[in-house]
Chains A and B, each alone.
Chain A
């Protein structure tokens, strides 16, 4: 392993318990016996990958391919069933690790923004530094203003999330994650809930982040972003990595038939 590895995922698997309710005719007794059947669903099946410092990795794949689950395991919003994940020198999958330290280093942006609706944009950004890191409120607010300027929303500090458009909300959400000074940013389909017109403003912010050398792990189908910023594109299907390579090789010349079929649908 090189010393530059930011995220190391080794042989990660995630199995969900799924409960299926089914009614069954009971022969002895008239009437139905209701019982719940427990089955297992493998979302991630032995994935190994490394993200280098400053690298932008884009994960694509059909829904249900386990890409979001894999991303959510990196900051332990989901627990892996087996395998290990390292962020820097912290083993995320070790139960004894201080997961809050990992999460301070790893920023996350959600598909549905998840801004805090009860506070304004500025407070959304400044809240975590104050509460989690014990930063001084005045300094945190100043920094939040700078971040708002950086994502092009300097005039929106007093707006509440409901008063912002989807694109604006997502940009505030990015600023909120950046306020914790993360070394790694996770993006879970950041533009999937947005109108086409708003996608660009979010991607521009992400591009500028990539230019500054942020390590980024992005689950998204935004090909333009991939071509402009990503060094590597990973295609996942059914919990496994099917193919990985440069954006050019994956999008223009996929080697595997499964990848070709998928790309035909999103192009």
Chain B
């Protein structure tokens, strides 16, 4: 192996080789998978037991993540459209929502919505956790969607209007379909961030991956071993999804449309 990476003088970041066998991603991903296979075999006593205890939690983490991102997408679309609305009140409400939510830590929001909701209606813990996550991530998605809409050239709306489209129909048939392509990769990144942040709901009696791990550890006092496995599982999940997002980006940049 060469002692330095050959780059031209103009390159700030070494170029990515097309088939890099030892890419950082591969080291992390297959390293984590390797450890998850190797550890239980090498020392089945705590590790195999831990791994068998966790699947429920993984499922719950998935559930929270998927439902949260779906609900957040709905909220984000509404708020994102509100942010570019020409109706002043709608615009203000959407902007205040985004500013307020982005200014409060997610953990505080989760507690707050959980207890606030608990006073009004009786809903399962997992539902209030999902709502809290969605309300928070909706604000971030709203900004992504707003930026996506605004990145569509002005001529597109003009062409649609000149053909007799109403603004609403132009949005629906011309602007938003183009926005989806632009925003898909950043939305994928938010999905990954949400997957990680979903560990916060473990404080709300939702048996997600982290909470299952802590339940196991508090019984066996094998904190170090348990959290190692929990961290590795999170790592595999997020790296897997970032691979998908990367593929998505690659396809979109290759796409002629």
B164 touches A132 (CB 8 A): yes
A110 touches B155 (CB 8 A): yes
In the complex, the chain B residue whose C-beta lies closest to that of A132 is B164
Contacts A118-B177, A131-B169, A163-B256 hold; do A77 and B161 have CB atoms under 8 A apart? yes
**Interface assignment of B120: CB less than 8 Å from any CB of chain A:** no
**Interface assignment of A104: CB less than 8 Å from any CB of chain B:** yes
Q: Bound state CA distance, A118 and B252, in angstroms?
A: 12
**Interface assignment of B183: CB less than 8 Å from any CB of chain A:** no
In the complex, the chain A residue whose C-beta lies closest to that of B178 is A118
Interface string of A76-108 (1 = CB under 8 A from B): 010000000000000000000000110110111
The residues of B that contact A162 with a CB separation of less than 8 Å are 256-257
**Interface assignment of B97: CB less than 8 Å from any CB of chain A:** no
Selected contact of A177 from candidates B163, B166, B177, CB within 8 Å: B163
**Interface assignment of A180: CB less than 8 Å from any CB of chain B:** yes
**Interface assignment of A174: CB less than 8 Å from any CB of chain B:** no
B173 touches A131 (CB 8 A): yes
A100 touches B158 (CB 8 A): no
Selected contact of A77 from candidates B162, B165, B166, B256, CB within 8 Å: B162
- Dominant secondary structure at the B interface: helix
Selected contact of A100 from candidates B153, B166, B178, B181, CB within 8 Å: B166
Selected contact of B155 from candidates A100, A106, A114, A128, CB within 8 Å: A114
**Interface assignment of B159: CB less than 8 Å from any CB of chain A:** yes
A180 touches B164 (CB 8 A): yes
CB within 8 Å of A: which B113-163 residues: 153, 155-156, 158-163
CB distance from A160 to the nearest CB of B (A): 5
Q: Bound state CA distance, A132 and B160, in angstroms?
A: 10
**Interface assignment of B235: CB less than 8 Å from any CB of chain A:** no
The residues of B that contact A127 with a CB separation of less than 8 Å are 173
Q: How large is the interface on B (under 10, 10 to 19, 20 to 34, 35 or more residues)?
A: 20 to 34
Q: Bound state CA distance, A127 and B169, in angstroms?
A: 11
CB distance from A29 to the nearest CB of B (A): 30
**Interface assignment of A116: CB less than 8 Å from any CB of chain B:** yes
- For A101, A108, A118, the residue with the greatest tally of chain B CB atoms inside 10 Å of its CB is A118
B178 touches A103 (CB 8 A): no
**Interface assignment of A75: CB less than 8 Å from any CB of chain B:** yes
In the complex, the chain A residue whose C-beta lies closest to that of B180 is A118
The residues of A that contact B153 with a CB separation of less than 8 Å are 114
In the complex, the chain A residue whose C-beta lies closest to that of B163 is A128
CB distance from B49 to the nearest CB of A (A): 52
CB distance from A222 to the nearest CB of B (A): 21
The residues of A that contact B162 with a CB separation of less than 8 Å are 75, 77, 103, 106-108, 177
**Interface assignment of B174: CB less than 8 Å from any CB of chain A:** yes
A118 touches B257 (CB 8 A): yes
Q: Bound state CA distance, A173 and B162, in angstroms?
A: 12
B256 touches A116 (CB 8 A): no
**Interface assignment of A232: CB less than 8 Å from any CB of chain B:** no
CB distance from A62 to the nearest CB of B (A): 23
Contacts A110-B159, A132-B169 hold; do A104 and B257 have CB atoms under 8 A apart? no
**Interface assignment of A171: CB less than 8 Å from any CB of chain B:** no
Query: Would you list 17 pairs from A and B whose C-beta atoms are within 8 A, ordered by A residue?
Result: A77-B158, A77-B162, A103-B161, A103-B163, A104-B163, A104-B164, A108-B162, A108-B163, A114-B156, A116-B156, A118-B177, A118-B257, A128-B164, A131-B165, A173-B159, A180-B163, A180-B164
Chain A positions within 8 Å of B, measured between CB atoms, are 75, 77, 100-101, 103-104, 106-108, 110, 112, 114-118, 127-128, 131-133, 160, 162-163, 173, 176-177, 180
Known contacts A108-B163, A117-B257, A118-B177; 17 additional CB pairs below 8 A are A75-B162, A77-B161, A100-B164, A100-B166, A103-B161, A104-B164, A106-B162, A107-B162, A110-B158, A110-B159, A112-B155, A114-B155, A114-B156, A127-B173, A160-B256, A163-B256, A177-B162
